[in-house]
Structure 1
Amino acid sequence: NKIVHEWLVRDQAAIARQIGSNEKELAQKWLDASGGYFKAAMPAAPSYYVSHIEQKGHAAKYADFLEQIFRSFQKINADHFYAQQIISALPGGESAVGQNQIMQFWQSLAGSLELSSFQVEHSVANEREGRPIAVAVRWRAKGIHGFLDVMASQQAAHSKF
């Protein structure tokens, strides 16, 4: 009868825009205040905590969808995961309308990361009568963002001259 894990989802990009800043400025401010780019390791969950990962059904299907995109960059058939009329909230206060836009978001995100690991940590579906099925998947990706490679390439190109 104790809360062990709490999920906090906050759209920092949208918040930055609302206060007259942008994502990059806000992130740099936080990095400067915390001492730089290197994040302290997360402590392990208590030994008695077991994260729930559904092995079948809608949550398992969606977790598999994410793994396919992030591990192999496969072209995924959106019909298996999203209704034609999907409207999805995206980072930065943006929206995706329809399967094509949501798939473009996921493929763009996966393509911007050079991953060393991808892990689904929790997945669960909530099915309620008369309501759409809600699926929550918590995942962790470790790797290098493509933007850093671009910056390094630009610095190397400038240093040659």
Structure 2
Amino acid sequence: MTADRMSSKPASEHEERARLTVDERDLGPQMAPVVAGRRQSLEGFEADYTDIVDYIIRCTHKIWEDKAVGLIYTHYAHNTPVHLSDAEFYGRDQVVENTVRTLAAFPDLRLFGDEVIWSGNDRDGFHSSHRVTWSGHNLGHSIYGPPTGRRVQRREIAHCVVRRGRIVEEWIVHDETALIRQLGLDEVELARTLARMEAELGWQSPGDLVGEVPRLPGQGHPPVQLDGDPRDPDALPGLLYGLVWNARMLNYLAEYYAPNAVVWVPGNRRLEGHGDLTAYVLGLLAAFPDGAMSVDHVAWIGSEAQGYKVAARWTFQGTHGGPGPYGPPTGRRVRVLGISHFEVRGGRIEREYMVWDEFALLKQVYRPG
């Protein structure tokens, strides 16, 4: 299992940068005042940012809550690609357009910063994984129809690559199913309608893949033992996905997760303990019998003494070939982007925020043949 990681840093350096977290900041109704002076080398960044966490939190606040949308032109590169499960955008003009559209639908939108997990430096570039709780009222027209007046809340994670004060690439995942349900809409019927419309427009589905799902090494089988130490935060996601999801060794869930672990999954669903988590994984693998997880990037902060916070960006692929939560099998191929934030202590996961766009998967499942 390979991952596109930043070059490894000595443990002492990781421990030092563990203090640069959102835990130190006032993320309530008012933004914390700018702290005088730099706490981290930020060559090429505007002077009012003190470190990479402050940059992510503060520029998000400026653009979305202060509605200084035009700052996107100074905080994104002109050719920035933005990746979602069901769309690919290119360039900051599209970022501006999508931001304006969202704010028009939810003009009182608030983004509460829950965590920023990061790696890198101002020489090689930073990777940041920013988890937010997204909250507001649907007071304007959205892509789903006229305003409902309803209050909505969903979880979202944005993974950014930042160089010299500009975002040069971004991956965004959000719990769209939770939002649609809170708007009072039926996600299955809406997915069928939009999937049919997108097919008629000739839009390509992310599940239109060629070749086998990359889980099996040739004619062999997934390894039931993988090299690596699960106490190493850099290795943990690859071991977890390789053994549990790809090799189907679900007995390892009890080794990687604490007995009372809490896992948040799409639809604002809360799983607690090994039983809930095992049932969730089994349900997805039953619906997608050839399903496979691959790790795309890993970053972490913390130390063995303090505990680790780990961000893993991943891709799930499979064929809808079995019964499960998404209706009778359709034979459609699916591909979804996801990001998980793990809180690890004593070598076990105590809490996980697994964020991916389940609605994008539904559209792929119900896409007309």
Spell out the pairing of 1:21-40 with structure 2 (5 A cutoff): 21-35=185-199, 38-39=204-205
For residue 68 of structure 1, the aligned residue among 237, 243, 255 is 243
Task: With the length of structure 1 as denominator, give the TM-score of the two structures.
Answer: 0.68
Spell out the pairing of 1:129-144 with structure 2 (5 A cutoff): 132-144=307-319
**Displacement of 1:21 after TM fit?**
1.6
Q: Deviations over 1:55-86 (max 9, x none)?
A: 76124122211122222212233333212221
**Displacement of 1:152 after TM fit?**
5.4
Q: Percent identity?
A: 22
**Displacement of 1:131 after TM fit?**
5.9
Q: Is the alpha carbon distance of 1:151 and 1:80 closer, same or farther for their aligned partners in structure 2, counting shifts above 3 Å?
A: closer
Segment drifting more, 143-152 vs 116-125: 143-152
For residue 12 of structure 1, the aligned residue among 159, 166, 176 is 176
**Displacement of 1:147 after TM fit?**
5.0
Q: Which amino acid aligns with 1:18?
A: Q
**Displacement of 1:22 after TM fit?**
2.6
Spell out the pairing of 1:1-161 with structure 2 (5 A cutoff): 1=163, 2-35=166-199, 38-39=204-205, 57-115=232-290, 118-127=293-302, 132-147=307-322, 150-151=328-329
Structure (1/2) with the larger helix percentage: 1
By relative contact order (CA 8 Å, sep 6+), the higher-ranking structure is: 1
Structure 1 segments (4+ residues) deviating >4 Å: 128-132
The number of residues matched between the two structures is: 141
Q: Cα RMSD over matched residues? A: 3.3
8 Å contact 2:246–2:291 — kept in the other structure?
A: no
**Displacement of 1:18 after TM fit?**
0.4
Q: Which amino acid aligns with 1:137?
A: A
8 Å contact 2:289–2:320 — kept in the other structure?
A: yes
Q: Which amino acid aligns with 2:178?
A: A
Segment drifting more, 122-131 vs 107-116: 122-131
Gaps of 5+ in 1: 42-54, 154-161
Q: Which amino acid aligns with 1:102?
A: L
Task: With the length of structure 2 as denominator, give the TM-score of the two structures.
Answer: 0.33
Any idea what SS the aligned residue of 2:260 has?
coil
Give the whole-Å Cα distance in 1 for the aligned partners of 2:198 and 2:188.
15
**Displacement of 1:142 after TM fit?**
2.3
Q: Is the alpha carbon distance of 1:134 and 1:23 closer, same or farther for their aligned partners in structure 2, counting shifts above 3 Å?
A: farther
Segment drifting more, 126-135 vs 70-79: 126-135
